[in-house]
């Protein structure tokens, strides 16, 4: 029997007791009238007196509080079930506006009328993330930087000022504290199965949200403050996230079969998987991903605990210990400093996908942003849901005790498996640098197409050909290229004209296509990549400024609005960019060569490493100065030549001393 069949719960015995039994121990019938005024307002004092405190330090006694609040939650649940939707809307809809998503709470009310376990759990996950975002907005009425963790937010003085500490303590019994019910975390991290979350706790949080709305309105009227909602995170460049082909009905039907067979799926969690696939079919893309991400975490946790032989970490930890979450599972080492075996089992492409979609700062960080309420659920993009579901299908196929050959080779599944196998990171700083370099070279390649003044309009000026300094620069660039040629792909160097045959987009595309390891990048490597990224950014800025200046000056020239001095400056610019282009292209080729060999930096001794760092920072300084000189405000085009001369001499000197990383390839 597969381990996934034998696991009946992912809640440790104490956590299971707290969530599933503790709040049911007192069987008192609690009268809802005790906490509702005649006009339907929530009487917080009647709720806060159920929170118990430890005699030792007056902190919340979570066990006694949950036991005492259990009957209250049951009473609230029965009360909400007794209302029609119309009655609920009339009575409470107004009090949900502070959340910026009142419709969600009306949805949760309807879910509670039917008490389907999977829907209740989903409603609770959405409710807690939305509430967290709204509480963060309230925090910002007083505080500056909103805490990232819900537990820190709920424990903040700022929220205690608005709502009162006793009210915050009621909330902490349900969410945000590992000593309480901690409903948000056990669901979002994939520990709780649908049947383990009592509907009465979802009802209570719905009720409490309305109560918070009432308290907040009083506070806002008293202080004359206005609650401002932070904008939702918007997915930009969705095409960057597209890895897998669109899933069709046949693929989703096969996925439903796979879910039942795969040992990646804990059988207690099967309803969540089926509900996620159903949500995708119904175009409820946010619901699909909210249901699926915790199940990916649960399935990976099963793999993690099996491969690392630590079965105890499959369960929720006690408050004094750490949960095994994505962060721990994707790490290089376990907490005992031994090597984590999961990356070897998942293999690099799958690890890179997980890091890209969940962890990298430049990536979508979907789980974080969804669980903290930063994404508008109503406009969640299909493209993102498609990637998560497709990736999940590949894991279902790969990790199974059954013979999955027929599934893996199926005409609709095989393309997914191929895409997963070929995946490369898109959001690691190394990948981001490659993207920047290619965008920059595209920008520089627009320069020859810039509009230029007809020759008969141009006064006689000293051109590039007659300029000894410019000729010296061109010669120096050619010398540097000839020294670097041996470290480049040979098919990219074909002509006698080194500058125009080597410093090309084609070469940069080929270099950027080379695989550079992104998993667990050592600190020195990241330090170098950060500087290379800054250099690339400055080069791009120079290019954009050149394009903007050239277009503006041409327009002014043709409209005869340029003064004599400005006309001469425009001519200097047109001359300068003839040598500025090869200088920038050389820098792009140099930093891309260094990127391809960046891991060799770990072989440098500390002194050489510092010297190398100093060199890169000098190149960065040059590009920063170039940004200043080529700006519309400064327009110092002749000085750019002087700058370039110094920078090229420094580059040549470093290459002569064999200090660049590309040269280490031959030395090793």
Range from 146-160, 469-483, 488-502 that averages highest in pLDDT: 146-160
% of the chain exceeding 90 in pLDDT? 74
147-165 pLDDT, tens digit per residue, is 999 999 999 999 999 999 9
Q: What's the pLDDT score for residue 39?
A: 82
Average pLDDT value for the chain: 91
Share of the chain above pLDDT 70, in %: 94
Q: What is the pLDDT of residue 494?
A: 56
Question: Which pair of structure tokens corresponds to residue 242?
Answer: 């597209």
Given a cut of 50, is residue 479 above it in pLDDT? yes
Give tens-digit pLDDT for 167-207: 999 999 999 899 999 999 999 999 999 999 999 999 999 99
In the chain, count of helices (H) and strands (E)? 31, 0
Label residue 562 left, alpha or beta by phi (over 0 means left) and psi (-120 to 50 means alpha). Answer: beta
Average confidence (pLDDT) over 52-64: 94
Is residue 516 over pLDDT 90?
yes
Query: What pLDDT shows up at residue 465?
Result: 44
pLDDT at 59: 94
DSSP labels for 185-234?
A: HHHHTT---GGGS-HHHHHHHHHHHHHHHHHHHHHHHHHT----PPPPB-
Predicted local confidence at residue 475, as pLDDT: 87
What average pLDDT does range 501-526 have in this prediction? 91
Residue 132: pLDDT band with limits 50, 70, 90 = very high
Q: Give per-residue pLDDT as tens, 589-604.
A: 999 999 999 999 999 9
391: tokens are 């990736």
- Predicted confidence band of residue 258 (pLDDT cuts 50, 70, 90): very high
pLDDT at 283: 97
Residue with tokens 């609040």: 69
Kindly report the pTM of this predicted structure: 0.92
Task: Grade residue 1 by pLDDT with cuts at 50, 70 and 90.
Answer: very low
Mean pLDDT of the region 628-647: 88
Spatial neighbors of 529 by CB under 8 A, at least 6 apart, are: 429, 430, 433, 521, 595, 598
Helices marked H in 445-492? 468-484
Q: Identify the residue with better confidence: 174 or 573.
A: 174
Q: Which two tokens stand for residue 522?
A: 């050592």
Query: In degrees rounded to 5, what are phi and psi of residue 42?
Result: -85, 130
pLDDT at 466 over 50: no
Instruction: Copy the structure tokens of residue 535.
Output: 């250099």
What is the three-class DSSP state of 266?
Answer: coil
User: What are the pLDDT digits (tens) for 338-364?
Assistant: 999 999 999 999 999 999 999 999 999
Residues 388-443: tens digit of each pLDDT: 999 999 999 999 876 676 777 788 899 999 999 999 999 999 999 999 999 999 99
pLDDT at 467: 63
Tell me how far CA of residue 425 lies from CA of 56, 341, 432, 519, 656, in angstroms.
52, 20, 9, 9, 34
């Amino acid at each position: 029997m597969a381990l996934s069949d034998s696991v009946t719960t992912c809640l440790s015995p104490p956590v299971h007791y707290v969530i599933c039994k503790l709040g049911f121990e007192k069987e008192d019938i609690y009268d809802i009238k005790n906490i509702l005024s005649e006009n339907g307002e929530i009487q917080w004092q009647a709720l806060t007196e159920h929170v118990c405190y430890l005699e030792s330090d007056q902190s919340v006694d979570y066990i006694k509080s949950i036991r005492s609040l259990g009957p209250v939650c049951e009473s609230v649940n029965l009360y909400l079930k007794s209302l029609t939707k119309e009655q609920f809307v009339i009575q409470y809809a107004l009090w949900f506006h502070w959340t910026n998503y009142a419709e969600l709470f009306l949805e949760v009310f309807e879910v509670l009328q039917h008490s389907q376990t999977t829907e209740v759990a989903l409603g609770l996950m959405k409710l807690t993330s939305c509430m967290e975002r709204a509480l963060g907005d309230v925090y910002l009425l007083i505080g500056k930087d909103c805490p990232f963790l819900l537990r820190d937010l709920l424990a903040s003085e700022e929220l205690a000022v608005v709502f009162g500490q006793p009210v915050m303590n009621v909330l902490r019994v349900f969410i945000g504290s590992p000593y309480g019910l901690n409903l948000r975390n056990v669901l979002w991290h994939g520990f709780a199965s649908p049947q383990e979350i009592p509907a009465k706790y979802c009802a209570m949080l719905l009720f409490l949200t309305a109560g918070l709305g009432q308290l907040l309105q009083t506070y806002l009227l008293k202080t004359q403050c206005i609650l401002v909602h932070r904008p939702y995170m918007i997915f930009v460049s969705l095409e960057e996230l597209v890895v897998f082909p669109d899933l069709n009905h046949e693929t989703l039907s096969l996925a439903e079969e796979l879910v039942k067979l795969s040992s990646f799926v804990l059988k207690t969690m099967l309803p969540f998987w089926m509900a996620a696939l159903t949500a995708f079919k119904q175009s409820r893309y946010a619901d699909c991903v909210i249901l699926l991400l915790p199940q990916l975490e649960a399935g990976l946790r099963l793999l993690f605990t099996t491969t690392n032989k630590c079965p105890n970490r499959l369960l929720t930890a006690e408050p004094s210990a750490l949960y095994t979450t994505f962060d721990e599972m994707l790490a290089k080492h376990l907490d005992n400093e031994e090597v984590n075996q999961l990356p070897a089992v998942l293999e690099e492409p799958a690890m890179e996908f997980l890091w890209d979609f969940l962890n990298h700062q430049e990536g979508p960080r979907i789980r974080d942003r969804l669980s903290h309420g930063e994404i508008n659920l109503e406009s969640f993009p299909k493209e993102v849901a498609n990637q998560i579901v497709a990736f999940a299908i590949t894991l279902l196929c790969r990790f199974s005790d059954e013979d999955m050959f027929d599934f893996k080779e199926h005409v609709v599944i095989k393309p997914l498996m191929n895409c997963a196998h070929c995946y490369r990171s898109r959001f690691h700083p190394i990948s981001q640098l490659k993207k920047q370099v290619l965008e920059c070279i595209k920008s520089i390649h627009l320069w020859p197409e810039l509009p230029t003044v007809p020759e008969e309009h141009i006064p006689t000026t000293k051109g590039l050909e007659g300029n000894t300094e410019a000729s010296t620069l061109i010669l120096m660039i050619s010398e540097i290229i000839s020294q670097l040629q041996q470290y480049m792909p040979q098919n990219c160097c074909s002509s006698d004209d080194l500058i125009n045959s080597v410093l090309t987009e084609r070469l940069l595309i080929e270099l950027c296509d080379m695989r550079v390891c992104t998993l667990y990048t050592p600190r020195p490597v990241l330090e170098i990549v950060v500087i290379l990224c800054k250099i690339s950014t400055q080069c791009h800025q120079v290019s954009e400024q050149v394009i903007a200046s050239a277009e503006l000056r041409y327009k002014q020239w043709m409209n005869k609005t340029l003064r004599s001095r400005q006309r001469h400056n425009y001519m200097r610019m047109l001359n300068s960019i003839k040598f500025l282009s090869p200088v920038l292209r050389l820098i792009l080729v140099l930093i891309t060569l260094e990127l391809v060999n960046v891991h060799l930096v770990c072989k440098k001794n500390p002194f050489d490493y510092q010297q190398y760092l100093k060199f890169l920072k000098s190149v960065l300084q040059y590009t920063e100065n170039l940004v200043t000189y080529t700006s519309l405000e400064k327009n110092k085009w002749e000085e750019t030549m002087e700058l370039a001369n110094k920078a090229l001499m420094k580059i040549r000197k470093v290459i002569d001393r064999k200090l660049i990383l590309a040269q280490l390839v031959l030395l090793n």
